Structure formats: structure tokens, C-alpha cells
Structure 1
Amino acid sequence: MGRLFCLLSAAAFGVMAVFGKLAYDAGVSVNALLLVRFGLAGALLLGIALARGALRNLPRRAVATGLAMGAFGYAAQSTFYFSALARIDASLVALILYLYPILVMGAAIALRREQTSRRRIAALLIALLGIGLVLSGALSGELDWLGILLALGAPIVYTAYIMVGDSLGGEVPPLALTALVCTGAFGTFVLLGFLRGAPSFGFAPVGWLWLAAVALISTVAAILLFFAGMARVGPSVASILSIFEPVVTVIAAATVFGEQLTATQWLGGALVLSAVLIVQWRTRPVAAPLEHPDEASGTPSCSSIQVAELTARVKPD
């Protein structure tokens, strides 16, 4: 059942791009989508976290950091993602976004939070080759370079967001952190609305259906399903199963919008996802000290990829 929950979560996240594009077709703006998404999702997740007592006795620093992660990191990443989605195919955005586990690995090595290895270097080279093929395959048609740059900005900002989340260690339960992040992001878009003018809500009524789908299915339900699955199968298996997400996006975008990847892009996408698997698939059981705080230093020593899955399932995505 845990694996099923993880796959359902990946599917719910995967169709977010399709819901977003359908909302744009109904006249919804990027700003309106983000404001409604985080308003609905933040309110529901806060309510659930309060009901479960997940927000009790949290350190002030942890609460402030969680809100700041949403207000700055997650708000920026979501803006990049959904702005790119308004300009280029959902399939391309999904494949580019999924560079983030590789970028997290590279950042963790650069910051000396993790050690390098042949397997990780190989994964990095495979991912770079893969994304090169994905982008070169798009050169056969008219390529929106601004859309590509916006899409590339999403995993870069997301990597920084995850590394900040890593600094929290185990202070904040995942559900509480997710609720705080969504609330912080909502605050950012409310503030932007005051400064730049509130977004227009005069779009077609069907737009509200797609906004509700983004917030309720691809955010709240997707996050809760992931937590339920991870509790049963563990973060490593859950993170591997989450690779189903961009596959769902590609299939859904092809079905709904007729988007088609070239053979070169299919190969590039397969290489990117293979690199993610190489990074996340454990070749042997991990000793207990890697799962718990180090007794000598008192600092958590879980891998950044594991932290990514614990903190990042608020993913925009």
C-alpha cells in the first residue's frame, strides 16, 4: 500500500503542469494561479497540521525558517516553474525541473556535506548529457529561450531551498514544514498583490476548477499521499518511486495537448531520470548512524537527497 500511495502522489504532482496549462487556457494569470494555489493549500495544510498537533512546541527559529523558505525560496521557484509553463511545453518543464536531485548532490558535495564518489560523478555527467539532449532536441523547432531559462531557474532555486531545509535537521516534522512553507509563499504573493495590484479573477468559470485541482489534487493530496507512503516504505523507496512524476507529466501532456518529444528528447529524458536513479538507489544497507543524529557531534547526518524528499514534497512543481 505504501508504494501505491507514493505512485499516486507522483501522479498527482505529475498532472499539475497539465492543470496549470488548462488554467492558462481559461484566462488565469500566473499570479492568480500562485495566489490561489498557496492560499487554498496553505489553509488546508495548516488546519491538518494543527489538528494533528504537528505545530506544537516548535522552536521559533524553525518556524521563522520554514516561513522564510516559503516566502523566498519556494515562492521564487514556483514563479519560475509556472512562468516557464506559460511559455514552453509541460514535458520540457518537467524534465528540466527533475535536474534538482543532481543539483542537490552537487551542492552537498561542494559544501562538503557529502563525499564525492565515482557513482555520483557518473550520475552528474549522465544528467548533463541528458539535459543537453533534451534541449538540443528542441532546436529542430522554434525554441523559446526565455521559457527555457525560466525552467532552468526552477531547479536551481529549488536546490538552494533544499539546502536551507537541510540546515533545519530534524527540528520540524515534514507536515508542519510543508504547511509553514506554503503559508510563507502565500504571504509573498499577497504582498506582491498589494505592491503590483491584485491579479484579475475575471477569467472563465472553468478556470476555478483547474485552480482547485492544482491546489487540492496536485498540492494537498499529493503531499499527504507522499507522507503516507513514505511512512510505510521509507524515504529511499519513496524518492525512487517519485521518478514516476515526470513520466506522468509527459504522458498527460501528450494526451491532453498533443505535445510530442523527439527521439533525441526521449533519450535525454531517460538519461536524466537514470542519473536520478543512480544517485538515489542505495547499493547496500545504510548503517544506523546515517539515519540518526551523530552521537559525537549531535548533528543530523542524513543525506541531502533524503532531506530533499522530506522537505521538498511541497514541490511545484
Structure 2
Amino acid sequence: MAIFARYAYAGGAEVIAVLLLRFVIAAALMTCFMLATRRRWPRGRNLLLLLGMGGVLYVGQSMSFFSALNHASAGLVALLLYLYPFLVTLLGALFLRQPLGVGRVVAVLAALFGTALTLGGGLAGEAVGVMLGVAAALIYSVYILAGGRVLTQEDPLAAATVVMIGAAAVFSALAIWQQPAFPASVSAWTAVVAIAVVCTVVAMLGFFIGIRNLGAADAATLSTLEPVVTIALAALFLSEPFSLLQIVGGAIILGAVVWLTRAGARTADQADGVPSTVVGSTARSSVE
């Protein structure tokens, strides 16, 4: 998303405008698909929870993250945000009684270390920037854990659609208040549409499916692949250089993901009475 956002900002769009368009376009597309497939919409408590996830938690995380960028380097803010797999694992164990195995802890810490190497140096910032960065990670962790609870009862597409609607409503109000600048070029609008479709509809739906099948902690750890993919795409399309440390960091993250995935497969097979040498194509994590 960072690559598309760069094109959008270069085309004259401001942050609030990009976020507004991101969620409005995503909400419209997903609502159309919901109506076309006649899927059941969330109701009652789950509906309110999902609207709160979008309108309060997702918006709060986004605003904390972008505000932190005004008081700290992009590398430090990104690293603080990627504390969320560790926080999800810790909070899930403390408040939701989710198992906290040694393998999972090692995988999470390895992914965090790999992320630090991948993001590189320039980790400087003011105290307020650090606090906002940690706040973004904490809010996102609560968002993921809340999603983990509601997704045991709701369809991932329906849940993601309601979250998008909640976020779109709040950012619409913010846009009316602040009146931000919108994209002024075809390339900027193309980037915004890509953010909405690829980085929001596809990414969020995939993440929600991951939470439902793997559990919140493991899905969060797997998502640390994002900075690796971002750096690879930036090198490919923007000709941005990358260092040996970033390659090492990416390898560590990939190793942590493979370790976590294989551990989940072994746990699922043992739970089903299948020898660990016969690994199925789909496995659930021990958090379930």
C-alpha cells in the first residue's frame, strides 16, 4: 500500500482524502458483492461490534499511525506498528486464555527482529511519536482480537463489509470537516483505486479468512510478510535500493512464517489422529 500511496500523494491527494476514498470504494464494492450473492448480514451485537471495529478501532489506528509520522521517522513508526503480532499473542493469552507455546513465542519474536532489520536504520523520533506508534499497534491488536471473536460467528466477507462501512462513515465526516485535497491526476486516481481494491478489499478479506482459520495470533504473525513484499515491489517498480540487512531480515521473517505454519500443521494433524509425517493441505493453529 505504501507504494500506491506514494503515487496518490504525488498526484495532490491528502491523507484524509486517500483514506476516505479507500474505504468508500471498498465498502461500495463489497456491498455490491454482498447483495449479488445474497449473503446474510451481521445482526445485533455482532453488527455493532463490527461497526465499532471499523469506525473506532480502524480509524483510531490509522489516525495514530499517520500522526506518529509527524513526530518520528517512518522506519520507527513502522517498527512500532509491527509490535502488534507480539501484542496480539500476549493479550490473547492474558485475556482470552489462548495457548502460549514456546514455538509461537519464538516465531513472533523472530518475526519482530526480522522486521527491525528489514525496515533498516533511521529509527529516530520524539516521545509523542513513540507513544502514538505504540498506540497504533495496541489499537490494531484489539481490532484483530475482536475480529477473531466475531469471525467465529460471521462470514468473513460480511464482517469485512460492515467494517468498511463503519470506517467509510467516520472518514466521510472527517472529510466534510477538514475538506482535504483529492487526487488531481489519472495516475493518482489509479493508485487510490488500487489501494481500495488490492490493499483493502483483497487484503482485508484474506486477513479475515486467515483469522478465522488460523486464529488471531498466527494470522498477525504471518502478516509480517508485508514489509518484505513492500521492499521487493519498491525495488522492482521504483528502483529503490535494498541492503544486505534487509535481505537477512526478510529471510528471518520467512523462516518464522514457515516455522509457524509447519507447527500449526503438526498440531492439527495430531489433533485429528494423523501422523505428523503426513501433512495435509490445510491446517489450523493450536489457538483454536
TM range (shorter): 0.7 to 0.9
8 Å CA contact 2:87, 2:138 repeated in 1: yes
Is residue 2:100 matched to residue 1:116?
yes
Distance 1:215 1:204, change over 3 A: same
Greater relative contact order (CA < 8 Å, ≥ 6 in sequence) = 1
**What is the total number of aligned residue pairs between the two structures?**
268
Is residue 2:250 matched to residue 1:266?
no
Q: Which moved more, 1:175-184 or 1:107-116?
A: 107-116
CA drift of 1:190 comes to 1.3
Is residue 2:6 matched to residue 1:18?
no
8 Å CA contact 2:81, 2:134 repeated in 1: yes
Q: Which moved more, 1:166-175 or 1:274-283?
A: 274-283
Please, which of 250, 259, 274 is the counterpart of residue 231 of structure 2? 250
Is residue 2:111 matched to residue 1:130?
no
8 Å CA contact 1:98, 1:273 repeated in 2: no
Mapping of residues 277-316 of structure 1, within 5 Å? 277-281=258-262, 282-286=264-268, 287=271
CA drift of 1:210 comes to 1.2
Q: Which residue of 1 aligns with 2:87?
A: 103
Mapping of residues 71-90 of structure 1, within 5 Å? 71-81=55-65
Looking at structure 2, the residues matched to 127 and 244 of structure 1 have their Cα atoms a distance apart, in angstroms, of 9
Distance 1:241 1:119, change over 3 A: closer
Looking at structure 1, the residues matched to 94 and 203 of structure 2 have their Cα atoms a distance apart, in angstroms, of 31
Distance 1:18 1:96, change over 3 A: farther
The one-letter code matched in structure 2 to 1:40 is I
Distance 1:71 1:241, change over 3 A: closer
TM-score (norm 1): 0.69
Is residue 2:194 matched to residue 1:213?
yes
Is residue 2:40 matched to residue 1:66?
no
Deviations 1:199-251 (A, max 9, x none): 12263343212111111232224456x38x97xxx945x95986654332111
Looking at structure 2, the residues matched to 150 and 274 of structure 1 have their Cα atoms a distance apart, in angstroms, of 30
CA drift of 1:17 comes to 1.8
Please, which of 33, 38, 53 is the counterpart of residue 18 of structure 2? 33
Aligned CA-pair RMSD: 3.8
Looking at structure 2, the residues matched to 53 and 38 of structure 1 have their Cα atoms a distance apart, in angstroms, of 22
Looking at structure 1, the residues matched to 241 and 97 of structure 2 have their Cα atoms a distance apart, in angstroms, of 39
Q: Which residue of 2 aligns with 1:181?
A: 163
Looking at structure 2, the residues matched to 272 and 150 of structure 1 have their Cα atoms a distance apart, in angstroms, of 25
Secondary structure at the aligned position of 1:200 is classed as coil
Distance 1:305 1:143, change over 3 A: farther
Q: Which residue of 1 aligns with 2:38?
A: 53
Q: Which moved more, 1:160-169 or 1:36-45?
A: 160-169
Secondary structure at the aligned position of 1:284 is classed as helix
Distance 1:274 1:88, change over 3 A: farther
Q: Which residue of 1 aligns with 2:140?
A: 158
Q: Which moved more, 1:184-193 or 1:100-109?
A: 100-109
Distance 1:83 1:180, change over 3 A: same
8 Å CA contact 1:70, 1:182 repeated in 2: yes
Q: Which residue of 2 aligns with 1:312?
A: none
Looking at structure 2, the residues matched to 30 and 75 of structure 1 have their Cα atoms a distance apart, in angstroms, of 12
Looking at structure 1, the residues matched to 73 and 286 of structure 2 have their Cα atoms a distance apart, in angstroms, of 30
Looking at structure 1, the residues matched to 145 and 13 of structure 2 have their Cα atoms a distance apart, in angstroms, of 32
CA drift of 1:197 comes to 2.3
CA drift of 1:123 comes to 2.5
Looking at structure 2, the residues matched to 133 and 245 of structure 1 have their Cα atoms a distance apart, in angstroms, of 14
8 Å CA contact 1:126, 1:271 repeated in 2: yes
Looking at structure 2, the residues matched to 269 and 98 of structure 1 have their Cα atoms a distance apart, in angstroms, of 14
8 Å CA contact 1:105, 1:305 repeated in 2: no
CA drift of 1:253 comes to 1.4
Looking at structure 2, the residues matched to 250 and 272 of structure 1 have their Cα atoms a distance apart, in angstroms, of 13
TM-score (norm 2): 0.74
Give % identity: 36
Deviations 1:58-86 (A, max 9, x none): 33111111111000111222334566789
The one-letter code matched in structure 2 to 1:262 is S
8 Å CA contact 2:17, 2:181 repeated in 1: yes
